Amino acid sequence: MPTLLILICLAFFLVKAAPGGPFDFERSLPEEVEANLRAAYNLDDPVYLQLAKYIGNLLQGDFGPSFQYRDYTVTELISTGFPVSLRLGVAAILLALFFGSLIGSVAALNQNSKLDYGVMFFGMIGISIPNFVMAPLLVLFFSIGLKALPAGGYNGGDFYHMILPVVSLALPQMAYIARLTRGSMIEVLSSNFVRTAKAQGLSTRTILLSHVLKPTFLPVVSYLGPATAAIITGSVVVEQIFGLPGLGRYFVQGALNRDYTLVMGVVVFYGCLIIVFNLVVDTLYGFIDPKIKQNR
């Protein structure tokens, strides 16, 4: 919670401090906009009151009016864009999580085999190729080359239109999760308590399910926070490339057009989202790791 407050304050003062910013009225702004802004940000009040009122508005879900899309408030823009982004992001993270842990586990169980080396090599490629490079390459191959999948557009979010965006968003995270899982599982497999379980005559299946699984995926669970942040960031470019009407696209448009209120609104919105998600992950982690549970 204090993080959230700092985030909002930081964003607020950044906007105030910016040269040529929205509160720098040396530039000629249309009268109506200026009046709107003055009203929206209570510019005639002292700074602390302005901040307090801004936070108050945020609490009511009011991010203020947009600079560029004059007929819309930032809140309206967020509520149109976010569902698209959410759909994309959730699909990508589920895909990355499922295949990442699967591939990583298979590699760990076949440690030092050719399969393992292959997986790790492709994992490294996955980490190294950013999604804004991966996405056009996939389009070049699957859409322009094979003509198998659409190159862009939302089309109401149907399955075929979502494949390439989701895959290119998920790939780097999938690679990272695979490497993480592999490293973690190898460490657990060589631990003394697994040796104990073997000495007790438990079958490999039982050992994996009841002894190995949980400690292996603890680091993966704690990576979920950063992974979400990375997916959100990635969605910005992926939406841009595939022309999806998501929040990221509004954000980039806003940034390029200096739509300050929109940019700030989106930053605060995503900030809240990431912070809340981190809280959820922490709680989840606490439920899985008995050592943390004890300390509560």
Partner 1 sequence: MTDLLATKKLNVKFRSRGEIIHAVKDLSFKLSDDEVLGIVGESGSGKSQTVLSIMGLLETNGSATGSCLFADKELIGLPSGELNNVRGNEIAMIFQDPMSSLNPYITIGKQMSGVLKRHTRMGNKEIKERCIEMLDSVGIGKPQERFDGYSFELSGGMRQRVMIASALLTNPKLLIADEPTTALDVTVQEKILDLILAVKERFKMSVIMITHDLGVVARTCDQVLVMKNGELQESGNTEAIFYSPKADYTKELLKKSKEINLKEQQKYTETQDPSIKNSLVKSTNAKVNFVLPKKALFSAENILTAVNEISMETHEGEVLGIVGESGSGKSTLAKTILGLQKLSSGQVEVFGERLSEINKKELKEIRKKMQVVFQDPFSSLNPRMTVFEILKEPLDSFFPSMTKESAQKDIEDGLMEVGLTPEYLGRYPHELSGGQCQRVAIARALMPKPQLLICDEAVSALDASIRGEIIDLLLRIKAEKKLTMIFIAHDLAVVRKICDRVIVMQSGKIVEQGPTEKVFFEPEKEYTANLLSAVPVPDPKMEREKYIKRVQAK
Partner 2 sequence: MRKTNSLLNDAWVALSKNKAALISATTMAAMVFMVLFGPIFSPYTIDETDWYKISAAPSLLDGHIFGTDDLGRDLFVRTMFGGRISLMVGLVATLVSVMIGVTYGAVAGFMGGRIDALMMRFVDVLYAMPFLFFVILLMVFFGRSIFLIFVAIGAVNWLDIARIVRGQTLNIKGKEYVDAAKTGGVSTIKIIMKHIVPNLLGVVVVYVALTVPQVILVESFLSFLGLGVQEPMTSWGALVNQGARQMESSPWMLLFPAIFLATTLFCFNFIGDGLRDALDPKDRTRGND
Positions that interact with partner 2 (CB under 8 A) = 2-3, 6-7, 10-11, 14-15, 17-21, 124-125, 127-130, 132-133, 135-137, 139-140, 144, 225, 229, 232-233, 236-237, 240-241, 251-252, 255-256, 258, 260, 263-264, 266-267, 270-271, 274-275, 278
275 binds, among partner 2, partner 1, none (CB under 5 to 8 A by kind): partner 2
CB 130 to partner 1: min, Å: 35
Length of the chain as a residue count: 296
Q: For the chain, how far is it from start to end, CA to CA, in angstroms?
A: 19
Query: Which tokens go with 22?
Result: 């929205």
For residue 53, state whether it binds partner 1 (rule: CB under 8 A): no
> What residues contact residue 249 under an 8 Å CB cut-off, 6+ apart?
81, 236, 239, 240, 243
User: How many Cα neighbours within 13 Å face the side chain of 221?
Assistant: 17
Among 83, 157, 215, 286, binds partner 1 (CB under 8 A): 215
d(CA 226, CA 129): 18
73 phi and psi, to 5 degrees? -90, 160
3 binds, among partner 2, partner 1, none (CB under 5 to 8 A by kind): partner 2
Neighbours of 127 (CB within 10 A): 16
**3-state DSSP assignment of residue 142:** helix
192 binds, among partner 1, partner 2, none (CB under 5 to 8 A by kind): partner 1
246 phi and psi, to 5 degrees? -95, 180
Among 113, 128, 196, 283, binds partner 1 (CB under 8 A): 196
7 binds, among partner 1, partner 2, none (CB under 5 to 8 A by kind): partner 2
Query: Which tokens go with 158?
Result: 């149907």
202 binds, among partner 1, partner 2, none (CB under 5 to 8 A by kind): partner 1
Listed ranges 24-32, 210-218, 228-236, 271-279: which one lies at the site for partner 1 (CB under 8 A)? 210-218
Query: Which tokens go with 271?
Result: 């900030």
Interacting residue ranges for partner 1, rule: CB under 8 A: 191-193, 195-204, 206, 210-211, 214-215, 289-291, 294-295
